[in-house]
Structure 1
């Protein structure tokens, strides 16, 4: 298995003027320049996986050019800061609260960092072979799995972006807390990184049992239907209303949603509500009744029942467990 993708991260660190290219399993890198401050933690829990935790800022606008050496896939969770990225004649903006996935061959990238803005990010990188392996596991080995070359479609670079899922945000924050307290084992780091990787792949490349039945336009409408449901947890539209909003008849909406996401529209809504509830309970800013109302449950007993069904603990025990 090729592990040369680590060179891409080393090139990025070298461009920041903090590291000569090398591949230690754990590195803590702090800035020495007066133009920037902060640090980067680099972890390589296994040869085909790299996890990078970045927390830094620049005292003036900073532009940086980086060339990738080897094909790779990277997912990144941006917790703070907004930065511009120019790759392959395309411009992107990475903002706080978003998750991005980048599939890249050998490309040149230009990064723009704003003056006096704090940047906090968690990145997870893997080689092409590992991406293809996990996509086959996610989508099955029946010939419908998504491959690196298929996604690129002849282009050297593809970029995907979406708001960070509440449960993923919880996992990322727990990861950061454990790393800061130096209480995360190498195996736990690997496990968490692979869970995030798998969940992100499922988000950006949902499995369809019959992908040829729906046109690209239909699939885009199904994605829009998912976004509408996730953004309207308190007052979700009915199936008929959702059909009108996205421009699909109710039969195609229900059938397509089940095939793309492996669940019904309202089962998906239930999952999103519970994931957000989990995050809100973890944050400690609301009591249990307030959390239930915030995710669309007016009956606290019913909320406790469905929460326990998903997480194995009722909300009160979950809060007590997390506080410990």
Structure 2
């Protein structure tokens, strides 16, 4: 395994980028995509400047060497929300109260953390592709949105209330990404808009991801109190049921069959969907069908009829009406 510092790694990346990389700037200057191949990995790096206090980064690294990067976090580093689509990082940061000395950030998981003024080692193993989204949030951003700190999860609440950021460092694992998070991530990566409309769309999706994380955090923090009669195991079953529906959208199982497959009774499944996703099982299927159809129409050469049939609509008229109600546009307008 090769060991380097963050500064040396960044300098090598910049040198390789200048020598054989490629950079694409948005004409309005709020985002930039960089492509580079260097001794450790093949990289794609997309950074987006959103409104003041909010910044988004997409990282897609294909590693061909084991690498350990030693970093020193500045005192004023922002809060970070992190979502892994593939790969993993192993992290060491010993002697930090409230933070595990070693932990792993892995595919399908999301995290929220505040780690100012620390030293850490981030280890990336060869022969893996790491894809992740980071959202940087300045503490003042929550105040800008009008949040009362008392309405936030306790760890975040204490961090925002302390003048000294070092007083409450934390690294919170929030478990499996919810289906709604996965949809929002794909919408960011497949954004169909340009110019300032693109920026507005990306900002809305970043805020949606933060809202979904905070809600998931509340459920984890408050346990049964936040989830009515649902236990943590029941909530996992609800997420499993949602994953089944996503895989079988064109021919979803009945509620009774779905409940049986995940080990819940019908009542708990219905209650769970309302509490976890704020909708019914039917409402969840309808929303996901329409979102999948929208992505098909944007990304592939399919007709409206083909998109409707693919996601399980037998009637093109019913599909078009539901699509207009959901997105405010006729599905045919996406094929022009």
Matched, 1:253 2:269: yes
Shifted more, 141-150 versus 221-230: the winner is 141-150
Once residues 170 and 253 of structure 2 are traced to their aligned partners in structure 1, the CA distance between those partners, rounded to angstroms, is: 39
Partner of 1:73: 80
TM-score w.r.t. the length of structure 1 is: 0.69
Counterpart contact for 1:167–1:275, Cα < 8 Å: no
- Secondary structure of 1:16's counterpart equals helix
Matched, 1:287 2:303: yes
Once residues 32 and 273 of structure 1 are traced to their aligned partners in structure 2, the CA distance between those partners, rounded to angstroms, is: 38
TM-score w.r.t. the length of structure 2 is: 0.66
Counterpart contact for 1:58–1:113, Cα < 8 Å: yes
Counterpart mapping for 1:1-324 below 5 A: 15-17=9-11, 40=45, 42-54=47-59, 60-69=65-74, 70=77, 72-76=79-83, 78=85, 82-86=87-91, 88=100, 89-94=102-107, 100-106=110-116, 108-112=120-124, 114=126, 122-130=133-141, 145-149=152-156, 156-159=170-173, 160-162=175-177, 165-166=182-183, 168-174=185-191, 178=194, 184-185=195-196, 189=199, 191-204=200-213, 205-206=215-216, 211=226, 213-214=228-229, 215-320=231-336
For residue 103 of structure 1, report the CA deviation from its aligned partner.
2.4
For residue 229 of structure 1, report the CA deviation from its aligned partner.
2.1
- Closer, same or farther in 2 for the Cα pair 1:145/1:122, shift >3 Å? closer
Counterpart contact for 1:170–1:282, Cα < 8 Å: no
Deviations 1:141-161 (A, max 9, x none): 797654543799x98312345
Counterpart contact for 1:57–1:118, Cα < 8 Å: yes
Counterpart contact for 1:105–1:157, Cα < 8 Å: yes
Deviations 1:291-310 (A, max 9, x none): 22221222222222211221
Partner of 1:22: none
Counterpart contact for 1:83–1:112, Cα < 8 Å: yes
- Closer, same or farther in 2 for the Cα pair 1:82/1:145, shift >3 Å? closer
- Closer, same or farther in 2 for the Cα pair 1:254/1:33, shift >3 Å? closer
For residue 281 of structure 1, report the CA deviation from its aligned partner.
0.8
- Closer, same or farther in 2 for the Cα pair 1:145/1:257, shift >3 Å? farther
For residue 272 of structure 1, report the CA deviation from its aligned partner.
0.7
- Closer, same or farther in 2 for the Cα pair 1:56/1:144, shift >3 Å? closer
Partner of 1:5: none
- Closer, same or farther in 2 for the Cα pair 1:235/1:31, shift >3 Å? closer
- Closer, same or farther in 2 for the Cα pair 1:34/1:263, shift >3 Å? closer
For residue 279 of structure 1, report the CA deviation from its aligned partner.
0.7
For residue 277 of structure 1, report the CA deviation from its aligned partner.
0.7
Counterpart contact for 2:293–2:307, Cα < 8 Å: yes
Name the count of aligned residue pairs.
287
For residue 201 of structure 1, report the CA deviation from its aligned partner.
3.1
Shifted more, 51-60 versus 266-275: the winner is 51-60
Listed as ranges, the gaps of 5+ residues in structure 2 are 15-29, 93-99, 160-167, 220-224
- Closer, same or farther in 2 for the Cα pair 1:144/1:263, shift >3 Å? farther
Deviations 1:140-183 (A, max 9, x none): x797654543799x9831234537634542333327x84xxxxx
Counterpart contact for 2:68–2:121, Cα < 8 Å: no
